[in-house]
Structure 1
Amino acid sequence: MSRDIDVLVLGGAGVDTIVYVPRLPLPYADSYMIDSGIRTRAGQTGDFVAVGLAALGLRTHHLDLLGDDPEGDLVRALHRDHGIGLTTVPQPAGTRRAVNLVGPDGRRLSLYDTSRTRDDDRLPEDTVRALAARARHVHVCITQPCAQALPLLREAGVTVSTDLHDWDGENPYHEPFAHDADVVFLSAAGLGDPEPAMRRIAARGRARIVVATAGAEGAHLLADGELTGIPAVAPPAPVVDSNGAGDAFAAAFLHGLLHGEPPARCARQGAIAGAHACTVPSTRTAAIGRAELLARAAGAQSAPPVP
């Protein structure tokens, strides 16, 4: 079978309601007037990664559970509008949704509706196998029920990446993802010094590359046993929202990796895409294009890694 999918994305489809608030944490009050409006749009972590990959010219397909509801219709429309293949599995509990409170500095607080997942949710094994056989690479989101698909991906012999997001280094839920992926992304926000957790991931699992993103401080790259600091990139416009920055980083990193770039260069491209994402309001779903990414990366070639 031909590999007609560059990246298969598993999980992470859903809808967010965006509320711009005057500050975070939000002090208690009986009510707040939201002049900027309250908007609902498709786009959670898997959607953002898929949109980012497709914007960079990679043939992308997304598999997840979706409800037969207005939120599911928004997700389907997003993929249709961006030319992304989508295979859906019926979810009687409904499509995932969340509320994101976004502060003036772009930080966010997310409230996830966990009633829209069930412990016995599953992605059909035959569907996972068939799509994995067509894919060059699979990016697995940590949403339920993607952990159950990891052994099937190993059987398929396809490379795997995942994003642990704000893992604290201890929560056992994340361990199957951390230990069964070739490339592991995570946020340094909850780790203090991220190096011990990064090295544990590499030692206990299959990861040959571990990347901890650190926002305005750049990122930490562990590859071939060597830890390298990746400088932050100045955003091309004012920062309005950090939502989706990590997903943009992952998409651009994978774009570089699938084009044969060394890990440090992939990480620099990730930093460029993440900085771009911070300039896009949460009410929109947009991603940096390939030409712009490569042009900015060429301009940043002279910036050396931080030892």
Structure 2
Amino acid sequence: MTKPLDVLAIGNAIVDVIATADDAFLAAQSLDKGSMRLIDAAEAERLYGVMGPGREVSGGSGANAAAGIAALGGQVAFIGRVADDQLGQVFAHDIRAAGVDYLTPFANSGNPTARCLILVTPDAQRTMNTFLGASQDLTEADVDYELVRQAGITYLEGYLWDPPAPRAAMAKALKVAREAGNRVAFTLSDAFCVERHRDDFLMLADGNVDVLFANEVEIKSLYQTDDFDTAIAAIQGKLPIAVVTRSEKGALVVTPDGTIAVPAEPVSKIVDTTGAGDLFAAGFLAGLSQARPLADCARLGAIAAAEVISHYGARPEADLKALAAKVTG
């Protein structure tokens, strides 16, 4: 039976505030270039006050992937919690305008909507300072598990594994999806997530999800090795599909039967790497939902990632369907 929903993504609902900065500013603020750190409301207010003019763009890893899937023509929904405040309204408007079904009710109490203050240096590296706000308050009551049953693929975001309530909500979604005979995809999100939740993530990677997304740093952290080939050997055969992105080296699709290397898509100028992994996942999942060969799925991911790093912000701006038309299979 054809599922009415190709992909359901569950993750943090965040509004990104993106500003340019130089290395001297990062040093003055004691920020480690290229890192992602969690901050509280007071630090979010302080840093926002000293950073340069910002551009507000709705973000969040799973939400970015959902927007990419919609841009590729997929039927996609997103679940994530925002407050009934200005940024919450911005987030809801943006994701719906991107063609994503978003029906999670606004929270009328508790934390304000999450925001990520992103400082982009001239070398296109992004330093992220994230206040998780309302997104970390997601509970099982916020999740429409009927959508989980309807979705061919449920995509879960590792960034949301930290707080107990969202973790329980996603664990239930995983169980519901698998009982319905649907696929589950999971992204490790960041090495700091792996460090905090290695045992859980190893359990998920050991056949408890169908697709695992990671970058080179994350997969090596998961298996506590400095050698990429050792990490790949460790995960091979554990689950149907692992997808490991390697920036300019492209990506590697790992299956029990072997590996498929796919080159990165050429980019004339890298402007901002925010969202590259999210859009790679979007392209891959869009292809997977269409039953394309795995090599084509990875090529779609590479094309979507190349588009998003060519401009500021983590949501696609070009016609992804037109760019993806070059992939046949």
Describe how 1:95-106 pairs up with structure 2 within 5 A: 95-106=113-124
2:44 matched to which residue of 1? none
Runs of 4+ in 1 over 6 A off after TM superposition: 29-35
Question: What is the rounded CA distance, in whole Å, between the counterparts of 2:76 and 2:314 in structure 1?
Answer: 23
Structure 1 counterpart of 2:100, from 81, 84, 108: 84
RMSD: 3.0
Describe how 1:177-256 pairs up with structure 2 within 5 A: 177-179=204-206, 180-190=208-218, 191=220, 192-204=226-238, 207-235=239-267, 237-256=268-287
1:113 to partner: Cα distance:
1.4
1:137 aligns with 2:168: no
2:37 matched to which residue of 1? none
Structure 2 stretches lacking a partner, 5+ long = 31-46, 221-225
Q: Is the CA contact (8 Å cut-off) linking 1:161 and 1:182 kept in structure 2?
A: yes
Q: Is the CA contact (8 Å cut-off) linking 1:220 and 1:228 kept in structure 2?
A: yes
> 1 or 2, which has the higher helix percentage?
2
Describe how 1:1-307 pairs up with structure 2 within 5 A: 3-23=3-23, 26-28=26-28, 37-91=53-107, 92-116=110-134, 121-124=138-141, 127-142=143-158, 143-144=160-161, 145=166, 146-167=170-191, 170=195, 171-172=197-198, 174-175=201-202, 177-179=204-206, 180-190=208-218, 191=220, 192-204=226-238, 207-235=239-267, 237-282=268-313, 286=317, 288-295=319-326, 297=327
Cα–Cα, structure 1 residues 147 and 103, in superposed 2: closer, same or farther, change >3 Å? farther
1:176 to partner: Cα distance:
5.2
Structure 1 stretches lacking a partner, 5+ long = 302-307
140-149 vs 48-57, greater mean Cα deviation: 140-149
Residue type of the partner of 2:227? D
Q: Is the CA contact (8 Å cut-off) linking 2:157 and 2:189 kept in structure 1?
A: no
TM superposition score normalised by structure 2: 0.78
Q: Is the CA contact (8 Å cut-off) linking 1:94 and 1:116 kept in structure 2?
A: yes
Instruction: Give CA-to-partner distance per residue, 1:114-151, whole Å, 9 cap, x none.
Output: 45455x742338x5421022212111112141344322
1:242 to partner: Cα distance:
0.5
1:65 aligned counterpart, secondary structure? coil
1:41 to partner: Cα distance:
2.1
Instruction: Give CA-to-partner distance per residue, 1:16-73, whole Å, 9 cap, x none.
Output: 11121123882227999977x3122211112211110000000111112221121211
Residue type of the partner of 2:140? L
Instruction: Give CA-to-partner distance per residue, 1:166-201, whole Å, 9 cap, x none.
Output: 337654253455343201111113534334334444
Question: What is the rounded CA distance, in whole Å, between the counterparts of 1:89 and 1:66 in structure 2?
Answer: 8
1:305 matched to which residue of 2? none
162-171 vs 208-217, greater mean Cα deviation: 162-171
Instruction: Give CA-to-partner distance per residue, 1:209-254, whole Å, 9 cap, x none.
Output: 101101111112212341333222211x311000111111111111
Question: What is the rounded CA distance, in whole Å, between the counterparts of 2:266 and 2:298 in structure 1?
Answer: 15
Cα–Cα, structure 1 residues 148 and 98, in superposed 2: closer, same or farther, change >3 Å? farther
Cα–Cα, structure 1 residues 123 and 197, in superposed 2: closer, same or farther, change >3 Å? farther
Q: Is the CA contact (8 Å cut-off) linking 1:198 and 1:210 kept in structure 2?
A: no
Q: Is the CA contact (8 Å cut-off) linking 2:275 and 2:315 kept in structure 1?
A: no
Question: What is the rounded CA distance, in whole Å, between the counterparts of 1:89 and 1:177 in structure 2?
Answer: 29
> Percent of aligned pairs with the same residue?
30
Q: Is the CA contact (8 Å cut-off) linking 1:129 and 1:156 kept in structure 2?
A: no
Question: What is the rounded CA distance, in whole Å, between the counterparts of 1:72 and 1:161 in structure 2?
Answer: 26
